[in-house]
Amino acid sequence: MSTTTTSHHDAHGHDDHGHPTGLMRWVKSTNHKDIGTMYLWFSFTMFLFAGALAMLIRLELFQPGLQFVRPEVFNQLTTLHGLIMIFGAIMPAFVGFANWQVPLMIGAPDMAFPRLNNMSFWLLIPAAILLLASFFVPGGAAAGGWTMYPPLSVQGGMSIDMSIFALHILGVSSIVGSINIITTIFNMRAPGMTLMKMPMFVWTWLITAYLLIAAMPVLAGALTMLITDRHFGTHFFNAAGGGDPVLFQHVFWFFGHPEVYIMILPAFGILSTIIPTFARKPLFGYASMVYATAAIAVLSFVVWAHHMFTTGMPVAGQLFFMYSTMLISVPTGVKVFNWLATMWKGSMTFETPMLFAVAVVFLFTIGGFSGLVCAILPVDIQLQDTYYVVAHFHYVLFSGAAMSIMGGVYYWIPKWTGHMYDETLGKWHFWLTTIAFNVTFFPMHFTGLAGMPRRIPDYSQQFAEFNMISSLGAFALGLSQLLFLYVVIKCIRGGAKATNQVWEGAHGLEWTVPSPAPFHTFETPPLVK
């Protein structure tokens, strides 16, 4: 970049060297760090928006009776909260981490296809606008839930078409980004960086990228069939025309189950980076971690119908999916064991990233156990569509994925900004988030076991106390994320200088790997800088 103070900007927003400046620097950026930063800010914006929807849901459920929103608006809140959290918050955040860290960790100058990288980010913006706007058009964002089950999703208004189109665009973005990540990892590793020497985070993203390429077209197929049912007179899911609504569930969950692992595998990679650093020991059982990740990826395609135990499947099918679901908990258990063994007899210190990592291991394990409970066929027939399931997947997705993202931000933000974050405020954010999360979701195990159905705006008096506790926890959880925003902005704007060895210990290497200077242009970058 230009070092002279006299450089002027031309009418097209470029400096003397032809590099975009100002807003154009971001719009045209082909630099993996800038694009990673944009992914992370986009994700955090969506996280706050979807969290606000969740707080409205909990406001309505604060006490029995209909208070704040009409039942159809309540359905829209649950639908959009799910879609935006999954496709707008969790997934883009992990892609942001991949953009920032994968090239640095494997010694590559950038991603393999920098312009494709730019495209895969900017596709998110129209998709997000469509998703958010679907809330405001007549008919609202569908009673079919985030899963968009027919027949409800066949009958709704144009908001459902907007949601479907948004998901198509997000799917294209994911597939394109995954191709980019796989190509980068296979073709651009530094000399000597064999596959079995790659950091665990790179491995988890390599496997996640394959899952995305396999799963997203399946979702596209289900949504395309849904669109033709809605507008072109087909009857894929219409029983009156010889179709089958349960077919949609099979196709959807054949995407949806790998999807939940797409949202947790990069989190495992982040944990496998943070824990060895603060235990000051190498990761225990590196090879077994790689194989466990691959095993999870393969098995994630043969467990989909455990979401459908109450749809009238043959008993043989039910038994297969029960056993395969129990089997997939084995490689996950291997990972938890390896993290605990990494911490065992380590010289541990508990800075904010490590606090998040330890909490994730503990809380994610609770979510894993409740998932094992749901895998037991006769038990799940009782628990299907109750708040027990809501508790289960939030323990996996919030305390597994979202809190890993927070820990990863605290871990890498000194590298990204050159400044240290405020450790005291970071710890405040950790404790507020962790306590509020458990206050919100732990009582849902009890309301679910007692039979309270999910996605219903009103409920029986017997559930009032637990719902009040959950709602108070949810408000605290939402507000504590504003502290996170403050810590991040404060760190970006200044603070103590970060050193080369931010986290002392055996794993400081990635801090000292010099990364190439940013090159923001659509021109061909010079080979010699």
pLDDT digits (tens, 9 = 90+) for 396-428: 999 999 999 999 999 999 999 999 999 999 999
How confident is residue 144, by pLDDT bands cut at 50, 70 and 90?
confident
**Cα–chain center distance at 206:** 16
The pLDDT value recorded for residue 155 is: 83
The pLDDT value recorded for residue 509 is: 40
Higher pLDDT, 498 or 513: 498
Cα 520 to Cα 17, 25, 40, 43, 96: the distances in Å are 11, 6, 18, 22, 17
Mean pLDDT in residue range 257-271: 97
- With respect to residue 529, please indicate whether it lies within any of the assigned structural domains: no
Are 348 and 279 within 8 A, CB to CB?
A: yes
The pLDDT value recorded for residue 349 is: 93
Average pLDDT, the chain: 91
Whether 190 shows a pLDDT value over 60: the answer reads yes
The CATH number covering residue 235 comes to: 1.20.210.10
The pLDDT value recorded for residue 456 is: 93
- With respect to residue 223, please indicate whether it lies within any of the assigned structural domains: yes
pLDDT digits (tens, 9 = 90+) for 354-366: 999 999 999 999 9
Structure tokens at 334: 């291997």
How confident is residue 521, by pLDDT bands cut at 50, 70 and 90?
very low
- With respect to residue 291, please indicate whether it lies within any of the assigned structural domains: yes
Radius of gyration of the chain (CA): 23
SS3 213: helix
Higher pLDDT, 294 or 494: 294
Other beta carbons within 10 Å of 31: 25
Mean pLDDT in residue range 277-287: 94
How far apart, in whole angstroms, are the C-alpha atoms of residue 69 and residue 57?
9
pLDDT digits (tens, 9 = 90+) for 498-511: 877 777 543 444 44
Mean pLDDT in residue range 145-153: 90
- With respect to residue 66, please indicate whether it lies within any of the assigned structural domains: yes
Mean pLDDT in residue range 48-73: 94
The pLDDT value recorded for residue 510 is: 42
How confident is residue 12, by pLDDT bands cut at 50, 70 and 90?
low
The pLDDT value recorded for residue 451 is: 95
- With respect to residue 184, please indicate whether it lies within any of the assigned structural domains: yes
Active site residue ranges:
81, 110, 146, 173-174, 257, 259, 261, 272, 306-307, 332, 335, 454
How confident is residue 137, by pLDDT bands cut at 50, 70 and 90?
confident
Dihedral (C-alpha) 111, 113, 116, 120: value to the nearest 10 degrees? -30
Mean pLDDT in residue range 78-84: 94
How far apart, in whole angstroms, are the C-alpha atoms of residue 127 and residue 123?
7
Written as one string, the DSSP assignment of 278-321 is: HHTSPPTTHHHHHHHHHHHHHHTTS-GGGGGTTS---HHHHHHH
How confident is residue 379, by pLDDT bands cut at 50, 70 and 90?
very high
How far apart, in whole angstroms, are the C-alpha atoms of residue 235 and residue 409?
47
CA atoms within 13 A on the CB side of 91: 29
Other beta carbons within 10 Å of 302: 15
Are 474 and 58 within 8 A, CB to CB?
A: yes
Whether 471 shows a pLDDT value over 90: the answer reads yes
Max mean pLDDT among 15-24, 146-155, 210-219 falls in 210-219
Structure tokens at 385: 């569509």
Q: What are phi and psi of 453, to 5 degrees?
A: -75, 150
The pLDDT value recorded for residue 500 is: 74
Whether 512 shows a pLDDT value over 50: the answer reads no
**Percent of all residues in the chain with a pLDDT value above 90, rounded to a whole number:** 83
Whether 513 shows a pLDDT value over 60: the answer reads no
- With respect to residue 25, please indicate whether it lies within any of the assigned structural domains: no
Are 34 and 26 within 8 A, CB to CB?
A: yes
Angle formed by the axes of helices 91-106 and 158-187, nearest 10°:
10
How confident is residue 180, by pLDDT bands cut at 50, 70 and 90?
very high
- With respect to residue 265, please indicate whether it lies within any of the assigned structural domains: yes
The pLDDT value recorded for residue 527 is: 45
Whether 218 shows a pLDDT value over 90: the answer reads yes
Whether 488 shows a pLDDT value over 60: the answer reads yes
Boundaries of domain holding 323:
31-512
Q: Please tell me the total count of domains within the chain.
A: 1
Whether 21 shows a pLDDT value over 80: the answer reads no
In single-letter form, the type of residue at position 515 comes to S
Cα 165 to Cα 141, 159, 290, 346: the distances in Å are 13, 10, 36, 50
Residue bearing tokens 């309505």: 60
**Cα–chain center distance at 155:** 30
Structure tokens at 420: 């240290």
- With respect to residue 491, please indicate whether it lies within any of the assigned structural domains: yes
pLDDT digits (tens, 9 = 90+) for 427-468: 999 999 999 999 999 999 999 999 999 999 999 999 999 999
Other beta carbons within 10 Å of 70: 12
pLDDT digits (tens, 9 = 90+) for 38-47: 999 999 999 9
Whether 235 shows a pLDDT value over 60: the answer reads yes
Mean pLDDT in residue range 216-237: 96
Max mean pLDDT among 26-40, 65-79, 139-153 falls in 26-40
Cα 267 to Cα 99, 361, 401, 494: the distances in Å are 15, 11, 6, 28
Mean pLDDT in residue range 248-258: 97
Whether 518 shows a pLDDT value over 90: the answer reads no
How confident is residue 142, by pLDDT bands cut at 50, 70 and 90?
low
